[in-house]
Amino acid sequence: MGIKFYERQSNFGDCDWLPPGAICLIFSDQYKWIVKDYRISSGPIPVGSSNCLPVELIRGYYADYYHILGTSLVAIEKREPVIKVKTPPLRCPVASIFT
CA distance 40 to 43: 9
Residue type, 70: G
pLDDT per position as a tens digit, 35-74:
999 988 888 999 999 889 999 999 999 999 999 999 999 9
Of 87, 62, 86, 63, the C-alpha closest to 75 is 63
Highest mean pLDDT among 3-17, 49-63, 79-93: 49-63
Counting Cα atoms < 13 Å in the Cβ hemisphere of 68 gives 17
Among 47, 26, 45, CA closest to 35: 26
